[in-house]
Amino acid sequence: MMEGVTNHARLPERVPDRESFVGLDCGAVEAISVDGRASSLPSFEFSTAGLSRADQFATWHDSFAPMLELSDIDPMTADFSGRQKLWDLGSLVLAEISTDRLAFSSLPGHVRRDPVDHWTMTVLLSGQTRTDAVKTAFTAGPGEVQIHSLGRAFDGVVDRSEMLMLFVPRDLSLETSATLGSAEFSTLGTGMGRLFSDYLVDVANRLPMLVQADLPGLAAATRAMILACVQPSADHIEAAEGPIANVLLERARQLVHSRLLDPKLGSELVRRELGISRTRLYNLFEPFGGVMHYIQHRRLLSAYAALTDPNDRRLIFQIAEERGFSDGAEFGRAFKRAFGYSPSEVRNRGGGGIPARSDLEDCPSEERLGVLLRRLQG
């Protein structure tokens, strides 16, 4: 796949023509701020243009593999067009996506092995999509905001479409967690929902003018817009179960984070601290493969951070032992399953895969979305 620098036209206020949505080439785009200084908000692009028909869909599939399973509905067509532009916003990720028709489904089995569990807030600019979840089904068209949870089971079909997709981590704030959790798998059909759609389009238009120092303010503004505009439908709340469950989950996350290196940390400790039954605890962490799998993944992320810290020169086995891995071989296998690199490769490279920000420009274009999603998880 060819890499290069492209220019990206301003997103139009109305539904764009397909050709106006994103540039054709791949690579990091260095934007220029209004005062002429180089912006520290690079974007990363790639497209399926120039590949064989089979490689076009395979590459597109691989790009979304950390979050979705994609299926080629029209494999006999002469061309599959997919274009993607990613913005790393620190605590958020924004993607501008153009795709031909395809089917999609969640990856509960994959999530259990390698948890990637965020909310997505998707604004269609053109086309239509349908989603079938466990308890509901809904369609969306241009201007409508959809809310999905990557950790839950769902499937659907998207027509030839352009869209903006905002990835919101579950730990952005306790309030956003409760709000999005109570409205997941729905569309925002209210006037406030349309306001959020306009806001997200405006953010995408203005990102080339922002600098790194603007990111905290952007995150705060986006969090405020979510709280103001997302109004959960009664059809998606059963006796406030959604908000209550998300509050419990956030409390559990905070507990795990605060006691991550405590050898006593386990499912029973978490259950006692939350004051809930084993069944309730299992249901909360089922999307992550259980409490212990979630704890192990957080410890692996912590180990990754230690291995890429130039000031932490402890031996690898010392870092592993501190995080509850008494068997070095077991640690190595678990680490490589999570990140695709061995602990020694990560240390020798100064960061070989998921959370290291400087690696975005070096990794293959189709892997960047997965890198950013796992980084939000950390």
Determine the angle formed by the axes of helices 267-274 and 241-258, rounding to 10 degrees. 130
Task: For residues 70 and 212, state if they share a domain.
Answer: yes
Picking from 213, 233, 253, the residue at the C-terminal end of a domain is: 233
DSSP readout, 78-147?
Answer: S---EEEEEEE-SS-EEEEEEE-SEEEE--HHHHHHS---EEEEEEEEES-EEEEESS-EEEE-TT-EEE
CATH of the domain at 217: 2.60.120.10
Residue predicted with more confidence, 14 or 154: 154
Q: Looking at the predicted structure, is the pLDDT value of residue 100 above 70?
A: yes
Q: Are residues 72 and 134 in the same domain?
A: yes
96/38 same-domain check: yes
The residue out of 181, 207, 233 marking a domain boundary is 233
The residue with tokens 């998300």 is 246
Q: What is the pLDDT of residue 373?
A: 81
Residue 371 lies in a domain: no
More confident residue, 280 or 109: 280
Q: One-letter amino acid identity for 90?
A: G
Give yes or no: residues 201 and 117 share one domain: yes
Which one is predicted more confidently, 149 or 9?
A: 149
pLDDT band for position 74 (cuts 50, 70, 90): very high
The pLDDT assigned to 11 comes to 54
- Beta bridge pairs of residue 85: 45, 96
Q: Is 260 exposed, middle or buried (0-12, 13-18, 19+ CB in 10 A)?
A: middle
The predicted pLDDT at position 38 comes to 43
In this structure, are 214 and 321 located in the same domain?
no
Same domain, 225 and 259: no
Domain assignment present for 373? no
1 belongs to a structural domain: no
Residue 56 confidence class, pLDDT cut points 50, 70, 90:
very high
What confidence score (pLDDT) does residue 245 get?
67
39 lies in the same domain as 145: yes
* Average pLDDT rounded to a whole number, residues 316-340: 88
Domain extent, residue 351, equals 241-365
Q: What is the pLDDT of residue 32?
A: 43
Q: Please list, residue by residue across 106-127, b when 16 or more beta carbons sit within 10 angstroms of its beta carbon and e when fewer do.
A: bbeebbbebbbbbbbbbbbbbb
Pair 141, 228 in one domain: yes
Other CB atoms within 10 Å distance of the CB of residue 98: 23
276 plus 329 within the same structural domain: yes
Residue 108 main-chain phi, psi, to 5 deg: -60, -40
320 close to 296: Cβ distance less than 8 angstroms: no
Q: Is 173 in the same domain as 311? A: no
**Position 83: which residue type?**
R
Total domain count, the chain: 2
Band the pLDDT of 211: cuts 50, 70, 90: confident
Shared domain check, 306 and 204: no
Selection from 303, 301, 283, 285 nearest residue 293 by Cα: 285
Looking at the fold, whether 23 and 48 belong to one and the same domain comes out as: yes
Look at 62-66, 306-310, 350-354 and tell me which has the smallest mean pLDDT. 350-354
Classify residue 284: in a domain, yes or no: yes
190-194, 283-287, 304-308: which has the minimum mean pLDDT?
283-287
Query: Is residue 129 in a domain?
Result: yes
